[in-house]
Structure formats: structure tokens, C-alpha cells
């Protein structure tokens, strides 16, 4: 098998096919495809919201994974050569760099592309309009709370859905103090157990 692979690499056709575009592909196509897909994805994410980026449940993760596989053929087209892939990746990174540069230069463009942060919970009160707009269920809010170490969404003082899909969470002062008290008690219990073990070892 090793000999067959070695002989295949020595053939001129193998190297020629590797470093040339497929005869059905054109350079302008390799440039435009990743750009159009990039722009389309930005528009779709703006339309359908940012919850998929937060990946609150397995379904959101499935959507993200399936999305990358779905647009793969749209980016590369009928050409799957090495050169075609490198060209597509280059212009995909290029347009992302250009967009990042525009965002850096203009906050207005940044707000237009990414949208604005949305307050989900304020003063422990749920913003029903924001929750409805982002399609966040009660279980989703509890999942957000659990990620931050809280028992439920009731323990959240403020929750903001950032433009990049992440959730910025602040807990109630009462809840924070309660968590601190629990941690102190837990450490005291651990120290008590360690002292008991040391005493037992000395007794033996």
C-alpha cells in the first residue's frame, strides 16, 4: 500500500490537479462565493436573533454544526481542489478582516452588523418583550443562571444578551452573600474533617 501511495505522488497528474482549479471553476467564482455566504450569514443571524450563538440547548448546537456543513458546498462550489480551498479561505478571512476594520472605525457600522445588547432581566424582573423577541423560555433562563452558579433565574439581578451571543449576568446581593456563606461553611467542614483525620492518626 505504501508503494502505491508513493507511486501516485510521483505522477504528474496528481500534482497538477492539486495546484490548479477544477476546469468547471473560475477565479471570480472562488472570490465571490465566500463573500456572499459571509454576508448572507450575517443577515440571517441578525434576522433570527443571537440565541444560536449562545448555544443554550443541544438544538442550538445542532443548528450551528449543521449550518457550517450546509454552507460548505456554497463556498467551494463544484471545485474541491487545494488551490480552490485556499483561495476561498483567504477571501473568507479577508472579508472578516475588512468587516472587523469597519467595526473598529465606526461604532454605527458595528451596531448595524452585530446589533445592540438586549437587557433580559433588570432588577430581578424579566423583560417579557426581550424574552419573546429572543425566544428564550423559562428553562433557557434557568440554564443561563446555572452556568453562572445560581440555582435559578430568580437569583439573577441583571442579565444582558450581548451582541456576540454571550450572556452577562449579575446575581442578587442576597444570593451572592448566601453563596459566600455556603462556601465558608463548606471550607469549615473540610477543615474539621482534616483535623479529625490528623487526630485519629496521632491516636493510632
* pLDDT of amino acid 8: 47
* pLDDT of amino acid 5: 45
* pLDDT of amino acid 7: 47
Inter-residue contact 157 to 171 (CB < 8 Å) = yes
Convert the pLDDT of each residue in 137-155 to its tens digit. 888 899 888 888 888 888 8
| Domain topology for 118-171 | CRO Repressor (3.30.240)
Convert the pLDDT of each residue in 108-127 to its tens digit. 888 777 778 889 999 888 99
* pLDDT of amino acid 195: 79
CA-CA distance, 47 to 71, in Å (whole number)? Answer: 18
DSSP string, 176-195: HHHHHHHHHHHHHHHHHHHH
* pLDDT of amino acid 175: 56
Q: How many CA atoms lie within 13 A of 61 on its CB side?
A: 3
Cell readout for 8 is 501516485
* pLDDT of amino acid 124: 86
Rg of the chain taking only CA atoms, in angstroms: 27
* pLDDT of amino acid 9: 46
* pLDDT of amino acid 13: 54
* pLDDT of amino acid 71: 82
Across-strand partners of 125? Answer: 122
**Low-confidence stretches of the chain (pLDDT beneath 50):** 1-9
CA-CA distance, 119 to 167, in Å (whole number)? Answer: 10
By CB neighbour count within 10 A (0-12 exposed, 13-18 middle, 19+ buried), where does 19 fall?
A: exposed
∠ CA 90-94-99, nearest 5°, is 155
Q: Where in the chain is the domain with CATH 3.30.240.20?
A: 118-171
∠ CA 136-140-143, nearest 5°, is 155
Give the whole-number percent of the chain exceeding pLDDT 90: 3
Amino acid at each position: 500500500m505504501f508503494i502505491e501511495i508513493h507511486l501516485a505522488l510521483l505522477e504528474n497528474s496528481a500534482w497538477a490537479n492539486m495546484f490548479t482549479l477544477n476546469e468547471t471553476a473560475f477565479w471570480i467564482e472562488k472570490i465571490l462565493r465566500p463573500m456572499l455566504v459571509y454576508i448572507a450569514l450575517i443577515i440571517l443571524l441578525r434576522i433570527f436573533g443571537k440565541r444560536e450563538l449562545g448555544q443554550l440547548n443541544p438544538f442550538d448546537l445542532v443548528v450551528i454544526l449543521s449550518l457550517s456543513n450546509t454552507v460548505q458546498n456554497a463556498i467551494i462550489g463544484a471545485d474541491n481542489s487545494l488551490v480552490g480551498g485556499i483561495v476561498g479561505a483567504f477571501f473568507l478571512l479577508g472579508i472578516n478582516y475588512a468587516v472587523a476594520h469597519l467595526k473598529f472605525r465606526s461604532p454605527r457600522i458595528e451596531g448595524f452588523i452585530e446589533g445592540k445588547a438586549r437587557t433580559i432581566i433588570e432588577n430581578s424582573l424579566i423583560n417579557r418583550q426581550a424574552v419573546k423577541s429572543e425566544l428564550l423560555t423559562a428553562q433557557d433562563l434557568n440554564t443561563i443562571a446555572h452556568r453562572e452558579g445560581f440555582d435559578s433565574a430568580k437569583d439573577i439581578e441583571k442579565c444582558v444578551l450581548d451582541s456576540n451571543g454571550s450572556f452577562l449576568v449579575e446575581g442578587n446581593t442576597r444570593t451572592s452573600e448566601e453563596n459566600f456563606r455556603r462556601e465558608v461553611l463548606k471550607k469549615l467542614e473540610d477543615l474539621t474533617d482534616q483535623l479529625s483525620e490528623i487526630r485519629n492518626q496521632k491516636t493510632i
